[in-house]
């Protein structure tokens, strides 16, 4: 309450994460007026900072790209100036968030227009009148960790923060400030542990505790804000209990998670274990995997045929003049096949999420509102997944178009089959998009995704026809 600040964490596919961040920023701008806002924590915006953190199947470079796209959209759509920080920073002095927050909203309001060093990376050189500015970036996982002290002397908290934080000679991977929690009559050392493996939680806690003892103050308690990696908590248990030869596999929940993961791999929700189990799963009296997963598989098969033609052509010396281009196309198709393979299960999972939302209780008005909100969000996710399938299959078809021009004519029929499979994938994705859009109430969202996939389909139909014409003309020439 003293901080007057909320931390919201969400895990999502890249495109959905950007959309969620922009929408959250829009809503915060509608609800929060910084001219009226007061709190202990430094801030320059209603949405103060948006860090993209790689968790699984995504790189830091991907997160940097997402941060820049989010910043661009916030500036263009909401007229809020945006600064890039950490790994996404465009200048060395903006890597550290504290440098950007200098002066907070009130100071930035004056400085942004007159000081060229405070010009934003995106948007106008003036703060939004009520929402201020927003900082967007990419960084590794960070732990927000606070230690509360049994004193109301803010100077003690500030001295401890200076002793602990890296920039003043303390723990290298710690950023710290001292805050007064007036409602509770105590003070707090608020820390960001930017690399919990190099500076674990227990080390930061022990240093704060020892520094506090110098001033005759005891620790009242500590808190974690937001999410924390399990490994960070395991390290604390191992250190404080002085466990010998401790292994993460000794934790019951870890063993259960590993067993469940193996079970998921063995379950034929996707064709990784072979075509026949997947066909049996599709043929079963269950709604998933269904048409969306089959469409993604069709696109993956199209990419695989393109890879085959590329490799066959690379074996032939008479095509040496296009080998470099073939290798580029081959690499693209390999990436696209992996993307589409992942979409097979992602589509089934999105359907399961929709069904789960429809099963939510609806006895009270609050339950009805929550259920409707969850249904709408699940339906939107079920549109985004096939849209990504269509985009990937469209890219496959573009690559096949090029292979039809430069690849071995002996494999042209395989490319033509691949083109039809890619077209089928896009059509199947389009049908899934239409099905889910029908129940979504957000008309702007509906128009955007309908037009997006329809444009892909129309272009794909032209490309597939072109590849088919090349094949038929070749047959006609051979029979003359």
Q: How many CB atoms lie within 10 A of CB 218?
A: 10
Pull the structure tokens for residue 432.
Answer: 């899934």
Is 347 one of the catalytic residues?
Answer: yes
Angle (deg, nearest 10), helices 201-214 and 230-240: 60
Query: Tokens at residue 342, please?
Result: 């992942």
Distance, CA of 203 to CA of 133 (rounded, Å): 34
Taking the C-alpha atoms of residue 29 and residue 23, their distance in angstroms, rounded to an integer, is: 10
**CB 425, CB 389: distance < 8 Å:** yes
Q: Which two tokens stand for residue 287?
A: 């709604």
CB atoms inside a 10 Å sphere around CB 19: 17
Q: Give the tokens for residue 305.
A: 């045929």
- Give the other-Cβ count within 10 Å of 424's Cβ: 19
Query: Of 348, 430, 432, 360, nearest to 390 (Cα)?
Result: 430
CA–CA gap between residue 70 and residue 212 (Å, rounded)? 41
User: Whole-angstrom Cα distance, residue 252 to residue 254?
Assistant: 5
First to last CA, the chain: 84
Q: If DSSP codes are grouped into helix, strand and coil, which group holds residue 122?
A: strand
Which residue is catalytic, options 3, 37, 41, 450?
41
Q: Is 68 helix (H, G, I), strand (E, B) or coil?
A: helix
Residue (of 301, 347, 287) closest to 13 by Cα position: 347
What beta strand segments (E) does 321-438 contain?
none
- The single residue of 48, 121, 347, 414 carrying the catalytic annotation is 347
- Respond yes or no: is residue 41 known to be catalytic: yes
Which residues are the active-site residues? Answer: 41, 347
């Amino acid at each position: 309450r003293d901080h007057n600040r909320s931390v919201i964490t969400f895990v999502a596919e890249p495109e959905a994460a950007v959309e969620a961040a922009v929408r959250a920023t829009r809503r915060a701008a509608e609800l929060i007026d910084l001219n009226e806002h007061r709190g202990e924590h430094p801030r320059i915006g209603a949405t103060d900072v948006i860090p993209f953190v790689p968790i699984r199947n995504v790189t830091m470079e991907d997160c940097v790209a997402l941060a820049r796209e989010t910043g661009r959209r916030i500036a263009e759509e909401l007229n809020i100036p945006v600064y890039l920080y950490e790994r996404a920073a465009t200048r060395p002095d903006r890597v550290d968030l504290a440098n950007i927050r200098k002066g907070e909203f009130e100071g930035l309001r004056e400085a942004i227009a007159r000081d060229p060093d405070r010009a934003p990376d995106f948007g106008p050189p003036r703060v939004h009148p009520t929402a201020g500015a927003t900082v967007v970036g990419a960084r590794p996982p960070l732990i927000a960790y606070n230690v509360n002290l049994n004193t109301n002397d803010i100077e003690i908290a500030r001295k401890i923060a200076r002793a602990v934080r890296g920039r003043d000679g303390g723990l290298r991977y710690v950023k710290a400030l001292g805050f007064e929690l007036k409602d509770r009559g105590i003070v707090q050392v608020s820390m960001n542990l930017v690399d919990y493996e190099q500076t674990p939680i227990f080390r930061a806690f022990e240093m704060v505790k020892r520094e506090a003892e110098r001033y005759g103050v005891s620790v009242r308690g500590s808190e974690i804000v937001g999410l924390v990696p399990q490994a960070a908590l395991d390290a604390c248990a191992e250190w404080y209990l002085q466990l010998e030869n401790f292994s993460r596999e000794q934790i019951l929940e870890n063993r259960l998670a590993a067993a469940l993961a193996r079970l998921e791999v063995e379950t034929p929700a996707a064709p990784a274990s072979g075509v026949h189990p997947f066909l049996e799963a599709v043929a079963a009296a269950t709604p998933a995997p269904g048409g969306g997963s089959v469409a993604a598989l069709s696109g993956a098969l199209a990419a695989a045929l393109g890879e085959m033609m590329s490799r066959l052509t690379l074996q032939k010396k008479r095509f040496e003049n296009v080998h470099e281009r073939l290798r580029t196309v081959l690499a693209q198709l390999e990436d696209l096949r992996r993307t589409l393979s992942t979409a097979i299960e992602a589509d089934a999972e999105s359907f399961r999420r929709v069904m789960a939302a429809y099963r939510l209780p609806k006895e009270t008005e609050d339950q009805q509102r929550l259920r409707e909100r969850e249904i709408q969000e699940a339906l939107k996710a079920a549109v985004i997944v096939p849209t990504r399938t269509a985009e990937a299959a469209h890219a496959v078809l573009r690559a096949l178009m090029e292979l039809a021009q430069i690849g071995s004519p002996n494999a042209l029929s395989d490319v033509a089959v691949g083109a039809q499979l890619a077209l089928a994938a896009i059509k199947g994705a389009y049908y899934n998009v239409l099905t889910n859009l029908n129940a979504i109430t957000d008309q702007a969202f509906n128009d955007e995704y309908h037009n997006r996939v329809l444009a892909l389909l129309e272009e794909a139909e032209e490309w597939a026809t072109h590849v088919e014409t090349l094949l038929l003309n070749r047959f006609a020439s051979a029979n003359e």
